[in-house]
Chains A and B, each alone.
Chain A
Amino acid sequence: MAAPLTLLLIVAVTIRAVLFRSSLAELIPERVEVVSPLNAWKRVVEGLALLDLGVSPYAGDVFHEVSPLSIPLNESNTSIHPSIMADALTAVALYLAVKDYNKTVFRKQKYALEAERYPLDCLELIRTPKEMYYIPLKVAMFYLLNPFTILSCVAKSTCGLNNAVIALFILCTVKGSSLMSAIFLALATYQSIYPLTLFAPALLYLLQRLYIPVNWQRSSFWLFTTQYTFMYLGSLCVMVCLSFFLLSSWDFLSSVYGFILSVPDLTPNIGLFWYFFAEMFEHFRLFFICVFQINVFFYTIPLSIKLKEHPIFLIFMQIAIISIFKSYPTVGDIALYMAFLPAWNHLYRFLRNIFLVSVVLLACSALFPVLWHLWIYAGSANSNFYYAITLLFNVAQILLVSDYFYAYLRREHHLTHGLYLKRKDGSEATLVLK
């Protein structure tokens, strides 16, 4: 399995290297779909230029990175840009994580089969090693050859770094290393607050791995939860304090986290925030900012309850929700959750509108630059055109995610109740949500 992965990595790096040297390398970093004020490479360079002038990079409203990560990266003068390395790292981490996860899934399925827990007509839902064999490679391929990832990489967006950190976090969680998992989760949170919601699935997975049931009465549950929380909060504290000591001011808190949460920059992007808050009535602004931000974090609790047996799927759901509802989304965020889609290959038969959704997503991706050009350069369209596409794009993403969620729940239902359900009178039944 190492050889195809190596081949894939070589192909991916070659594509990126070629694009870096083409004329597209100047065009792509200006695209609002690819870079946001949070992760634009231009702004990182600007922050370093400000440091050179003796001005704190957080004195202005251009630089919104947490410093210690991006500063050493810029000074590395290697021929391979850090964003390429980050992409490769993400792909390898995802590959290993999914491989390990598949092993766990397969083992569990084996135990269930041996215990004869599955109904007899569910045999066609059982996953076979043959179809699972190529899934890790497909995941890596989905990440590396996804045009969204490539664009984001060529734009040198620091989004690739965030993705790498999250991928490493997933890998460490799957491998069961709770300390490393907590550290990488803290790092991801420190970069952009939203991965905070991944705390719950990671905890659930680690508990499951240690065979500790989620039970409020059990002291072992509480012991491990406290342990993991302390590791997480401790490393987060260390990181925050480190950045304080680097610049000896707390300016970065408001400049990074305040910027993410209060959405002052309304530069168009593929998300829902920019036009909504550009058009918002002033006295409702705070209310709606609270509503929209709570919306991102809110799904954690019900999803964790519903999916407490399936933490990796929960991670996928959370990443997808973050990338749809976060304040400054870019295509790089979407690429991360899309990489997981091959891992849910077996849900394919239960997906309801995958064709429609994929067509809409493709059409929107093509229409983004077209309508942007019409609005900004040609002047023959206005902002509503671009806004309409962002709406459609987000609806498609929501449908995609909820479709996968539906399919996952339905498969679980079939695994307990049998695939071919019968009504009381013996005729074939249809399954509905009630």
Chain B
Amino acid sequence: MQNLDSRPAPYAKDQTQEAAEEERQWEATEVKEADHVPDTMQTPDVPPPTPAKDQFQEELVIRPLHSGDIYASFQFRTMWDTDFLRGSKVSHYRLFPKSLGQVISKFSVRELHISFTQGYWRTMQWGQPFLPSPPGAELWVWFQDTVTDVDGAWKELTNVLSGIFCASLNFIDSTNTVQPSASFKPLGLGNVTDQRFLRYAVLPREIVCTENLTPWKKLLPCGSKVPVCLMFDALMKVASSQSFRLSYNTSEICHNSYCKSTVWELRQTLNVVFDLHTSGQGKREWSLFKMFSRTLTEACPLASSSKVYVDGELFELSPTTPLLSQAVVLGDRRTYSVYDLTNQATFGQTRSLNMLLRWRAAESGDMLRPLLHGERYVAGYGLQTGEIHTLMYNNHPYRAFPVLLLDTVPWYLRLYIHTLTVTSKGRDNKPSYIHYQPSKDRLRPHLLEMLVQLPPNSVTEVTMQFERALLKWTEYTPDPNHGFYVGSSVISALVPSVVAMDTNSTRECPLFSSFFPCKEESSYFMRVYTEPLLVNLPTPDFSMPYNVICLTCTVVAVGYGSLYNLLTRTFQVEEPSPGLAKRLANIIRRLRGVPLL
């Protein structure tokens, strides 16, 4: 009953620390809610003194992972209540990047999502990322339904984006573009479900490097100013990071909860996982300075909100912050320490902020196992056939949930849909929905979408046989024996929340509120990407084109020649040819005009 306090007490705290926590204030902040603006900012309900049409927010989330690594997620959000698509041309840009705005208006883009990822997110060790993405480059775009030639617009768009982001997005063509029917729904406004306006492509071979960061930085209003500077040093460390990803998401969202007006939102995120063990010489200690070689000194002056969140409670944090925030992220209730960079007090007397994290115990405690997890591998030997196995883990102890599996397989692995098997717990698990589009050679890839029910606490295995094609010698990559990449499968699901799973959670809220366990948190959307595959194909001998052309033509000529010989000639009795002396004599006789011998 003591928990029925007006101020919710932090749970799972030691009594000794309670005193220290008393000074802290609680702040009702939703971290991942897009349409909810934190309290510290001007809210749309209260009109601001000068009606700024665009606003910019920045934040950094630091989450120590259970493996001992540090996950840093920079997020920058620009919102602008303009209309790129209708009426007059937008020419005055303030915070919103002009290059992107022009792209949106030129190609009538409704939503644009790009991510570049280096390395692979280890879900079983690190938990779920805030924003999952497949290794390589991923691009998916919803076009407005006014676009008539979607394929043409898509082709042009990928080429333009390739220039803007210094990436080889121009390699996206019809052979790796698909139109998923269910897996990728618009994230913003617009309830379009017509997949004709959606294009999705993955380039698993794309290598992300520092050259992709310069254009990324240019899209930010503060450019390389604070605290983005942190990021830049982070970039220098890309090589030492385990996983690294850049992404851009643009979509139209509601301005307020009534959706009377709309704004354009651009979210730029940069997620890095730092390997603490290699850089920290085994000490379980971490600081901003150590990682980024500098400290935070000020917020971006254009930002309406600038915050640093530190996730978790298993370490000491110095300087301590009075602000705490609780949020349900990916079905898990987390407590964050918040540093508000717009507040000068945060920087203290040294006018710089250098957070120091020191682990309290050697063990970092139990990690919540990800409820949904996917794996993929190729089975079989030899270069003729093979089998793709996709494993989907449902780690929920008692709840079954459906998942959408999306597989895009290039045409040169010829899939046989009749060999598709889905088994869970040793039994056949028939998908309730299958959307399959077979490939066309050199034109389009295979697309397989399935709705599969995952039984609780189980592994579901999807297998499918394929045949490896022999390609033309010019179609191989410069390093053909390295193999060909097959993009990740995408598993999309509404996963039952851990919060809902936790029966103790009812203790913290008033009893009257919990007749039915927190409905709004009962499940959340999640997307999981499996590993990309590397598949070897049989190769011709690349040094042989001339030889092969000569030899095959010779064989054809042997056939032609022998038939021609028999067709045009006739049998005749062989007369012995005269000797050399006689022939010479005949020549001389012919010259002399004398009858021949």
Contacts and interface: CB of A to CB of B under 8 A. Distances in A.
Given A325-B559, A383-B538, A431-B571, A279 B545 contact: yes
Interface string A268-292: 1000101111111110000000001
Interface in A412-434: 413, 417, 421-424, 429-434
A254 to B, nearest CB: 10
A280 B549 CA distance: 7
Contacts of B569: 433-434
Contact of B544 (A267, A277, A279, A299): A279
A272 B551 CA distance: 10
A410 B470 contact: no
Interface stretch (A47-55, A100-108, A201-209): A47-55
A432 B541 contact: no
Given A272-B556, A278-B472, A383-B541, A302 B438 contact: no
Interface string B552-572: 100110111011011101111
A376 B382 contact: yes
A46 B469 contact: no
Nearest to A422: B573
A60 interface: yes
A266 interface: yes
Interface residues of B, number: 54
Contacts of B382: 376-377
B563 A299 contact: yes
Nearest to B442: A264
A179 to B, nearest CB: 32
Contact of A384 (B384, B544, B558, B565): B544
A277 B472 CA distance: 7
Contacts of A53: 417, 434, 436
A377 B438 CA distance: 27
Contacts of A399: 562
Max chain A CB contacts within 10 Å: which of B411, B538, B575?
B538
Interface string A390-408: 0100110011001001100
A324 interface: yes
A345 interface: no
A422 B381 CA distance: 66
Given A30-B385, A50-B438, A266 B470 contact: yes
Contacts of B563: 299, 302-303, 402, 405
Q: How many interface residues does chain A have, given as a range?
A: 35 or more
B562 to A, nearest CB: 4
Greatest chain B CB density within 10 A among A60, A306, A413, A417 is at A60
B93 interface: no
A62 interface: yes
Contacts of A282: 472, 474
B308 to A, nearest CB: 51
A50 B556 contact: no
B445 to A, nearest CB: 11
A61 interface: yes
Contact of B572 (A292, A382, A405, A434): A434
A374 B442 CA distance: 28
Interface in A349-393: 375-377, 382-384, 387, 391
Interface string B504-544: 00000000000000000000000000000000001111001
A45 B384 CA distance: 19
Contacts of B558: 395, 398
B442 A431 contact: no
Given A50-B438, A383-B539, A410-B571, 10 more contacts: A53-B417, A59-B438, A61-B438, A61-B440, A268-B538, A278-B473, A299-B563, A424-B575, A429-B574, A434-B571
